[in-house]
Structure formats: C-alpha cells, structure tokens
Amino acid sequence: MVTELARKRFTVQQYHQMLEVGLLREGEPIELIRGEIVYNQSDFYESNHPQATDIFLLVEVADPTLETDRNVKIPLYAEDGISEVWLVDLNGEQIEVFRQPAPSGYQEIKIVRSSQTISPQAFPEISLEVAQILGLG
C-alpha cells in the first residue's frame, strides 16, 4: 500500500510572511517553486554552472551590446533551452521578451513598451512596470 503525503502549497505572499516572522531566513538557499519551498543547490553552484532547468528568467540589459545580445547570445540561450529571456533595450525604452525555446530560436517573441507591465512566465502573479525596469519611473 502506497501512502501519498499531503502537500501544502504556499503563495508568494505567504513565503514573504514566513521570511518576515523568521520562519525562513533571508539568505538561506531556498526558493519558492510552484508553491513548494525547496532548497537550492547547497554550494550555490560553486561545483557547476546552473542548468537550463535552474533558470526561470534570464535578463540581458543592453545598451551598446543590443545587436550582439539579440543576434548571438539569445539564440544560444534558445539552443540551451532557457525558457524565458528578457532583453532590456535601454535606448529603445522597451523589453523584448523571448519564450518557447527551440534549437532554431525562440518561437514566441514580443515587445513590451515602457507604458506597459510585464510578468515572468514562471511567476504570472507578479506584475512589473516596464518603466521602472528601464529606470524611467
């Protein structure tokens, strides 16, 4: 007979409350993933680099490197299976969002302007103002 353990899923708000009251300590190698509190790699990736499954969102901030980031780095991230990349275009005052990686590149690409909000795919309940990310707000 197999016994299934009941699991309690936590919201981001509950996670932050646990930090505030001291149930969890700031700086501990923990994360909230799909409502579950899990411990990060204990050596903080000293023994190896993070893998694509460890990365929920990769952010590239581009000024003079925009074309290199867009045409060289981002295709490499897609090949490696990084699920979401934001290319913050400081001069264009926008964020290019890349999702659905494939060996040939990202299948979903969209532009989010400074007047809009954006949410990471892994954390859709979090809404960020693009203007603030760009340092405009």
pTM attached to this predicted model: 0.68
d(CA 116, CA 93): 11
Q: What pLDDT, on the 0 to 100 scale, is given for residue 3?
A: 60
Q: Which residues of the chain have pLDDT under 50?
A: none
Q: What pLDDT, on the 0 to 100 scale, is given for residue 5?
A: 63
Q: What pLDDT, on the 0 to 100 scale, is given for residue 97?
A: 98
CATH assignment of 52-133, given 1.20.1300.10, 3.90.1570.10, 3.40.640.10, 3.40.50.1980?
3.90.1570.10
Element (H, E) at 99: strand 94-102
Structure tokens at 62: 């581009």
d(CA 117, CA 127): 6
What does each C-alpha distance from 66 to 61, 78, 96, 118 come to in angstroms? 8, 17, 11, 20
Angle, CA 121 vertex, CA 119 and CA 123 arms, to 5°: 70
d(CA 86, CA 108): 12
Parallel/antiparallel/unpaired status of strands 105-113 and 128-129: unpaired
Q: What pLDDT, on the 0 to 100 scale, is given for residue 2?
A: 60
Return the domain boundaries, the chain.
7-46, 52-133
